[in-house]
Amino acid sequence: MKFSVASIAFVQMVEARNSLSKTPPMGWMSWEIFRCSVNCARNPDGCISETLYKSQADAMAANGWLDAGYNSVHMDDCWEQKSPSRDPVTNKLVGDPDRFPSGMKALGDYYHSKGIQYALYTAESDTTCGGYPGSKNNEKLDALTFAEWGVDYMKVDGCGGPEYYDSGYEAMGIALEESGRPIEYSCSWPAYINGGNETVQQATFIKMINYGCNGWRNWHDIQCNWRSLGSIIDHWGMYGASLQPFAGPGHWHDMDMLLIGSLSGGHDGGHVGERCVSLVEEQTQMAIWAISASPLIMGNDMRHVAKDSMEILLNEHAIAVSQDPLGQMGIRLTGDTSAQIWARKMENGDVAVVLYNRDDAAAGAADIAVQFDITGINLYTDVDVFDIWGKQSAGTFTKEYTAKAVPSHGTAFLRLSAAQAVIV
């Protein structure tokens, strides 16, 4: 089947319930590297503690991330006191007192003093995936507690029986809405049902948007290797047409964290091993996440990001594709071939294109051509081709453009502007 950007109807099936997340969220999250490291005596620089998050906030404020749009620090699992699981008097959740001695509100105040949003984690289950207290049946109280602490974004995981998710995610949506504070709501619900078959998730997507979810995780957790990253790209490639109508301003499909600048073996300290994926593969992740309108949540250690990785993350042309105000999710236009074309329509009529060489190294680099009509641009119009990785014009072309020697697992990332953009 041949798709074009325009042949897949862009229908916002359901209006977002709130005015948050108009473009995909951008920030940093602790889970990819720091996981559930809670032994601060052994791992003082990398344990889940206020020291870690304050130092990440310092790095975010100092190194140009805020100016580029990365503006939230996301704490993931394992921040809570386990026993007792709630304050015996107030029944509120409590941060681990040894690791968060200043309290959870003080951490939020610290972020806010630097212009950074406070993102936190809970789950619609008795316990979180790491075995810490969850919010099941305590949505109202927990949402009020998060609001008191100044939280701006909640990732709400689901680590128990899926039979609770329908009422649980609805209850949390209402509770956050009534908390008196605008709090972005990230729901993990679809990741846990239907075995990843996105063709049967429509009803869930509609419910989630109605419940106020501003985004949701659809599929497996990303891991620090190419096999994991490549499989997520394949999943979005395969299901693009099923996913696209449900993404838009206020509600996004979340492909999970960026591995860009992340090193393996980093759980104890965060900056020790090899790159999770090669630099070329890091570019590919940035390009596909931007085309797919996925949140851009870094999973590195912001205190130690290599300069070349930083250049990918801070590439303003890639970020402009991700944050395009039209909010139309892009999709893979070709089948599951070794040379793939992905495209996303931009608000000003331009089309962003990723030419992705899916082959393994043995097959070597490939020339990949894109016929402009597949992207919805009139075949007979002059098209300016801007090379996003090269940060310069590649020239003006008619009918087609060929990217030369795209490396294995690599991408050419382009922005096409037609003199007279005619979307067919």
When asked if residue 77 is in the footprint of ligand GLA (CB under 6 A), the reply is yes
Rg of the Cα atoms in the chain? 21
Selected binder of ligand GLA within 50, 76, 124, 281 (CB under 6 A): 76
Distance (Å) of CA 281 to CA 140, 224, 237, 308, 309: 42, 12, 16, 12, 11
Cβ nearer to ligand GLA, comparing 31 with 386: 31
Backbone φ and ψ for 314, nearest 5 degrees, come out as: -100, 5
Selected binder of ligand GLA within 25, 69, 130, 299 (CB under 6 A): 130
Measure the CA–CA gap between 352 and 375, rounded to whole angstroms.
9
Measure the CA–CA gap between 345 and 322, rounded to whole angstroms.
11
Reply yes or no on whether 221 is catalytic.
yes
Measure the CA–CA gap between 417 and 270, rounded to whole angstroms.
41
Residues 6+ apart with CB under 8 A from 370: 341, 353, 355, 400, 401, 402, 403, 414
Cβ nearer to ligand GLA, comparing 289 with 401: 289
Cβ nearer to ligand GLA, comparing 31 with 65: 31
When asked if residue 221 is in the footprint of ligand GLA (CB under 6 A), the reply is yes
Give yes or no for a contact between 280 and 409, defined as CB atoms under 8 angstroms apart: yes
Selected binder of ligand GLA within 157, 184, 350, 359 (CB under 6 A): 157
Reply yes or no on whether 336 is catalytic.
no
Stretch that binds ligand GLA, among 14-22, 128-136, 333-341, 377-385 (CB under 6 A): 128-136
Reading the block at residue 229, the tokens are: 């990253």
Nearest to 273 by CA among 282, 283, 264: 264
Question: Which entry of 221, 336, 360, 367 is annotated as an active-site residue?
Answer: 221
Backbone φ and ψ for 122, nearest 5 degrees, come out as: -150, -170
Cα atoms in the Cβ-side hemisphere of radius 13 Å centred on 84: 7
Cβ nearer to ligand GLA, comparing 259 with 385: 259
When asked if residue 31 is in the footprint of ligand GLA (CB under 6 A), the reply is yes
Question: Which entry of 76, 96, 152, 157 is annotated as an active-site residue?
Answer: 157
CB of 78 to ligand GLA, least distance (A): 7
Cβ nearer to ligand GLA, comparing 3 with 189: 189
β-sheet bridge partners, residue 385: 395, 416
Selected binder of ligand GLA within 128, 315, 334, 378 (CB under 6 A): 128
CB of 29 to ligand GLA, least distance (A): 8
Query: CA 255 from chain center: how many Å?
Result: 5
Residues 6+ apart with CB under 8 A from 95: 79, 80, 81, 103, 104
When asked if residue 129 is in the footprint of ligand GLA (CB under 6 A), the reply is yes
When asked if residue 80 is in the footprint of ligand GLA (CB under 6 A), the reply is no
Binding mask 316-355 for ligand GLA (x = CB under 6 A): ----------------------------------------
Stretch that binds ligand GLA, among 125-133, 167-175, 228-236, 282-290 (CB under 6 A): 125-133
Residues labelled catalytic: 157, 221
Binding residues (CB under 6 A) for ligand GLA: these are 31, 76-77, 128-130, 157, 188, 217, 221
